[in-house]
Amino acid sequence: MAVVFGATSTTDDVLSGISLQGKHILVTGVSAGLGVETARVLAAHGAHVVGAARDLKKAQAATLEVRAGAEKGKGAFELVELDLADLGSVRACADALNAKALPFDLVIANAGVMATPFGRTKDGFETQFGTNHLGHFVLVNRIAGLMRSGSRLVNLASAGHRFANVDLVDPNFEHTPYDPFVAYGRSKTANILFAVAFDARHRSHGIRATAVHPGGIATELGRHMAAGQIEAMVAQINEQAAAQGKPPFQFKTIPQGAATSVWAGVVADAETIGGRYCEDCHVGEIVPEDQPLGLIEGGVRAYALDPAAAEALWMRSEELVGEKFP
């Protein structure tokens, strides 16, 4: 009987007894948190993991355990430089990967920022949309030729997509008052829609794409939030939970948070997760717009999985970055 995984499953649980020898995997954001843990468990099970990071010095220090696990598990680990907030860096990284011609069985677009103060990337895009979505949009599309049949793309999204749908008219907040969490929500919805569109374009070649919500985890992702803001949000969540007779919120550990990425990328049935939104090591259900939804309940808003919206975002993204992808 197949093992059923859930919210408390860890990366080691998910990959128990599985060998990834001969598999090549790209993971972005390997200088902290989920990216490091994801790289660690994949390399420890024999995969050749390419880790991408903006700050290579920080990543070198953060991935010592990854290298040790790779050596013990007969895997491999290497670093490449990638600044998702600079399309010049993104294109240079893609060029280097294409020149090396290492085929990929799995790409995990893990890197990202959350609730940043208003700012712009090097190319003039709003920081969160530019980093979380457009940077990965260009990188993944430029290396799509390296993804062999049977491979998968896993985009790290979030329940935070519920804060906002994408805004294709004013993606850079040029005419809209800036709100850090609205901007975060837009970027996370974009991550899901990108997976939907990528899956539609590549499934006929045996390549599938999905988006995952890792859960609530205490990582560096919250570094831009004001002192006490996370605690206040948790208190509000727990107040709502108590009113509904539900248990209080508990943060996941980092191994628990990275488990859904690994499950979707390696273990889950490709047809089941292709073009979908996953959480707690299962496919999330669509929640109707008229149903109130906090940040701890499961589920995904329908607008984040709308194929027409995914196509519209793809076209707008190509226009913004000045590059078309087949």
Report domain extents, the chain. 11-321
Mode of pairing for the β-strands spanning 24-28 and 300-301: unpaired
Mean pLDDT calculated for residue range 193-208? 98
Pick the closest to residue 37 from 141, 156, 139 (CA basis): 156
Contacts of 169 (CB under 8 A, 6+ apart): none
DSSP string spanning 91-143? HHHHHHHHHHT--EEEEEE-----SPPS-B-TTS-BHHIIIIIIIHHHHHHHT
For the question of residue 184 being annotated catalytic, the response is yes
Q: Provide the pLDDT for residue 217.
A: 87
The residue-averaged pLDDT of 206-219 equals 92
Residue 320, pLDDT above cutoff 60? yes
The pLDDT of residue 118 is: 98
pTM reported for the whole predicted model:
0.93
Q: Helix, strand, or coil here: 173?
A: coil
Report the b/e string of 230-265 with b at 16+ CB within 10 A: eeebbeebbebbeeeeeeebeebbbbbbbbbbbbbb
Are the C-beta atoms of 47 and 73 separated by less than 8 Å?
A: no
**What does the mean pLDDT of the chain come to?**
93
Q: Which pLDDT band holds residue 105 (cuts at 50, 70, 90)?
A: very high
Going across the sheet that includes 24-28, the strands are 76-81, 48-53, 24-28, 104-109, 147-156, 208-213, 277-279, 282-283
> Measured between alpha carbons, how far is 128 from 126 in angstroms, rounded to an integer?
6
Determine the Cα angle at 6 with ends 5 and 7, to 5°: 150
The answer to whether the Cα torsion of 80, 95, 325, 133 is positive or negative is positive
* 220 confidence band (pLDDT: 50, 70, 90): low
Q: Which of 155-169, 186-200, 232-246, 247-261 has the lowest mean pLDDT?
A: 232-246
What is the mean pLDDT of the segment spanning 192-210?
98
Q: Is the pLDDT assigned to residue 295 strictly greater than 60?
A: no
Residue 260: half-sphere exposure toward Cβ, Cα within 13 Å: 29
Q: How many residues does the chain have?
A: 326
Are the beta carbons of 97 and 143 closer than 8 angstroms? yes
Residue 235 pLDDT > 60, yes or no? Answer: yes
For residues 75-93, give the mean pLDDT: 98
Residue 227, pLDDT score: 61
Strand, coil or helix: 73: coil
- Region 227-232: what's the mean pLDDT? 68
pLDDT for res 243: 76
List the beta bridge partners of residue 49.
25, 77
What average pLDDT score do residues 158-166 get? 95
Q: Give the confidence band of 282 by pLDDT, cuts at 50, 70, 90.
A: very high
Helix (H, G, I), strand (E, B) or coil at 52: strand
pLDDT at 253: 95
pLDDT of residue 240: 72
- Residues with Cβ within 8 Å of 107's Cβ and at least 6 positions away in sequence, in order, are 25, 26, 140, 143, 147, 151, 152, 153, 154
* Confidence at 67, pLDDT banded by 50, 70, 90: very high
Q: pLDDT at position 247, please?
A: 75
Q: How confident is the model at residue 244 (pLDDT cuts 50, 70, 90)?
A: confident
Distance CA 290, CA 298 (A): 15
pLDDT at 230 over 70: no
Q: Which CATH code is given to the segment(s) 11-321?
A: 3.40.50.720
| Residue 312 binned pLDDT confidence (cut-offs 50, 70, 90) | very high
User: What local confidence, expressed as pLDDT, does residue 241 receive?
Assistant: 66
Name the catalytic one among 178, 184, 277, 303: 184
CB 196 within 8 A of CB 138: no
